[in-house]
Amino acid sequence: MQDKNPTLGISQLKEDFLDRLGLGLSLLRLDEIHPVLNGNKWYKLKYNLREMRSLGKTHLVSFGGAFSNHLAAVAAAGFQYGIRTTGIVRGEEHLPLNPTLSKALEQGMNLEYVDREKYRNKPELMRWAEGKFGPEAYILPEGGSNELAFKGCLEILEGITPVYEKICCACGTGITLAGIASSPKGRNRTIGFSALKDTSFFYRALSAFAGEKVADETPVISDYHFGGYGKIKPELVSFVKEFYTTHGIQLDYLYNGKMMFGIYELARKGFFRPGTQILAIHTGGLQGNAGIDE
């Protein structure tokens, strides 16, 4: 993986209702970073892959659910850079495999399944993985949620001009949100949009990686999860399809689609003051759409 961060594109979104409200809305295109290894995962893996190489590790092992964007990115990184990978998948194997796991398998990832109770005990799960895969394995937590991933996410807004008044980011583990909210251009400006029902752990994640002050000043909107992680509803599907028709930009259903739906709804409700310039982060994850659109 290259040391220099990629040049990021920004798409300005034109909507009549935004013009009437006096709002500017732009989309930071992390989804365009790389053909297969893109989005916030590029930043999460950047320093972890560098550390793995420096330690002389040859096997990248990580964790996720059956539709995990993170496991998809780990598999893509392994395929791209010739690294052996294993994905520890929460729950039982279901055949045929869904598109996310099928693609990971095609890219050379070995899949190991663990029951949900065992998966829930994260410290024990980490110890089990360390024992099973041995010293050649670099064990990466679920979602890439460690200090090196946080370090990478701190760099997402580097080089972005102008300075936007509000930064919006979809969140699942909270690491990307923590990095953006801690960065100079994100402090006191960042709003998280939860893709999950339970948002209590976001404060803990923000506190652990970014500090309590950043956690206190970073709101997480929890009204647009559409039933919880991995859940969608017809109005969300319609919104994502209409967004693509209008702007030519594909959103994923599980994270960015929910965030953009929320931004539009909040704008209509007067959440943003007139004149506000908003930057939404497109964190990629489009592989998750496979199977939903079929």
pLDDT of residue 218: 96
Domain boundaries, the chain: 10-38+147-289, 40-144
pLDDT band at 294; cut points 50, 70, 90: low
pLDDT of residue 3: 61
Choose the CATH number for 10-38+147-289 among 3.40.50.1000, 3.40.47.10, 3.40.920.10, 3.40.50.1100: 3.40.50.1100
pLDDT band at 267; cut points 50, 70, 90: very high
Q: Tens of pLDDT along 165-189?
A: 999 999 988 999 999 999 999 999 9
pLDDT band at 159; cut points 50, 70, 90: confident
pLDDT band at 163; cut points 50, 70, 90: confident
Average pLDDT over residues 146-152: 96
Instruction: Tokens for 40, please give them.
Output: 């916030």
Cα 213 to Cα 98, 152, 155, 207, 209: the distances in Å are 41, 20, 20, 8, 11
pLDDT of residue 198: 82
CATH topology of domain 40-144: Rossmann fold (3.40.50)
CA 100 to mean position of chain CA atoms: 15
pLDDT band at 34; cut points 50, 70, 90: confident
Question: Residue 205 contacts by C-beta under 8 Å, 6 or more apart in sequence?
Answer: 145, 173, 174, 175, 177, 178
Whether residue 2 has pLDDT greater than 80: no
DSSP for 156-203, written as a single string: TTTT--S--SEEEEEESSSHHHHHHHHSTTTTTTEEEEESSS--HHHH
Whether residue 59 has pLDDT greater than 60: yes
Asked if the domains 10-38+147-289 and 40-144 are classified in one and the same CATH topology, the answer is yes
Instruction: Tokens for 136, please give them.
Output: 């050649």
